[in-house]
Amino acid sequence: MGIKTVAVHSEADSKAMHVRLADESVCIGPSQSKKSYLNPAAILSAASITNADAIHPGVGFLSESAKFARIVEEHGITFIGPAYEHMKTMGNKIKAKEKMRELGLPVVPGSDEPIKSEDNAIKISKEIGYPVLIKASMGGGGKGLKIARNENELKKALPAARSEAEASFDNDEVYIEKFLSKPRHIEIQILADKQNNVIHLAERDCSIQRQRQKILEEAPSPALNENTRKQICESVVEVIKKLGYFSAGTVEFLYQNGAFYFMEMNTRLQVEHSVSEMISGIDIVRAQIRVANNDALGIEQKEVKISGHAIECRINAEDPVSFKPSPGLVTEFHSPGGLDVRVDSALYTGYDVPPFYDSLIAKLIVKGRNRNACIMRLKRALEELVIDGIRVNTPLHQKIVNNPSFINGAYDIHWLEDYLNK
């Protein structure tokens, strides 16, 4: 787009690829994220000294902080994302459910407000029936989330969930919802501009998870037919229009027995946005930047052509069996290539993966003319991928894509953990 970029980085990321590729770079603090990537003052200072017009918040850290978005705008800098009011509403899972229910989306049965006491939790759990999920109101990534299958488990899980929520989000507020036995995790990717033009890029199936963390995503979902897909996607578009929301966003559902239940909305770029880009041909980050610049999307829904099938594997620096993190020096890195093979990564031979952040180090995204062709191409790409010097979870992905249940599309959000525990 011809826009000059400034990379902000901690001391630990001084040799990261994005720092090497950007036009300018600014160190915003030491390795600890609280003193760098979670420090709004440092980020704003970097924007000020480089005369930056806008800040893209990425996919983690402050990307869903309504407070940060507001501070950025108050300093006369454009925040490349939605309005902070929408971020604030959707950032609170209880308020988000209440709002989406009001706008016509079905939600998972559960508490309509934060849990006030143990007695309150027991009462609600009896009403909706066990098993139940205790979830952090401000949560995500499986933090502050516990399952209770009876009253005794509930009594133990409630304080544990509160403690984890407080540690992870500085807020111990939790709520309760019904635990679904075999749901799929289906999410709808939307793009909207400030003129209230809204489009969807179909759905992603993110049901291959471990400890509530996504491992592999694909689009479209093998669980949906065209009628079901059309119905849920059009419903989401109408809701987004009513909200007046703009920028990229993802509306997430649990899908079981032909029914959708709204779970949450992510008001940021998702890690797995790449699979939607592959099947739609639309650059989501480019769209975010255009919208932030008050430009129209420039494309109508009828012009969005969904073609083929895409699968993304999250490559993590971790032992593929024990899942113990494996930071360290990458002695050799070879990226697979070929038609419709994409690798999003900051890795290079000689890079030292730091131990301070998330273990995700690369995304391997592959597209095929149909799901079978995509799986075949993915198997080849996984064989080609070389990351030496550290342990990575590539062998786990190879097991998944060769498993008959995955090949047949017969899986749910509990499938991977059940498979690993056999």
Using CA atoms, how far apart are residues 56 and 63, in angstroms rounded to an integer? 8
Average pLDDT over residues 187-209: 98
For residues 318 and 405, state if they share a domain: yes
pLDDT tens digits, 55-65: 999 999 999 99
CB 18 within 8 A of CB 37: no
pLDDT in the model for residue 170? 80
Residue 207 lies in a domain: yes
Residue 50 belongs to domain with CATH number: 3.40.50.20
Using CA atoms, how far apart are residues 401 and 216, in angstroms rounded to an integer? 10
Last residue of a domain, one of 178, 206, 238: 178
For residues 329 and 214, state if they share a domain: yes
DSSP 107: B
**Distance of alpha carbon 64 from the chain centroid:** 11
For residues 390 and 361, state if they share a domain: yes
Number of independent structural domains in the chain: 3
Burial of 203 (0-12, 13-18, 19+ CB in 10 A): buried
Which of these, 343, 334, 319, lies nearest to 385 by C-alpha position?
A: 334
For residues 123 and 197, state if they share a domain: no
pTM, rounded to two decimals: 0.91
The yes-or-no answer on residue 268 being catalytic is yes
Residue with tokens 């949450």: 264
Beta bridge partners of residue 176, listed in sequence order: 134
Band of pLDDT at residue 112, cut at 50, 70 and 90:
confident
Using CA atoms, how far apart are residues 344 and 365, in angstroms rounded to an integer? 8
Band of pLDDT at residue 165, cut at 50, 70 and 90:
confident
Residue 117 belongs to domain with CATH number: 3.30.1490.20
For residues 268 and 196, state if they share a domain: yes
For residues 161 and 255, state if they share a domain: no
Asked if the peptide bond before residue 354 counts as cis, ω within 30 degrees of 0, the response is no
Catalytic residue among 268, 290, 314, 391: 268
Last residue of a domain, one of 178, 204, 219: 178
Using CA atoms, how far apart are residues 181 and 194, in angstroms rounded to an integer? 39
Residue with tokens 């255009």: 290
For residues 415 and 375, state if they share a domain: yes
Give the Å distances, CA to CA, from 78 to 104, 154, 256, 288: 32, 44, 40, 12
pLDDT tens digits, 365-411: 999 999 999 999 999 999 999 999 999 999 999 999 999 999 999 99
Residue 28 lies in a domain: yes
For residues 155 and 196, state if they share a domain: no
Domain that holds residue 25: 6-81
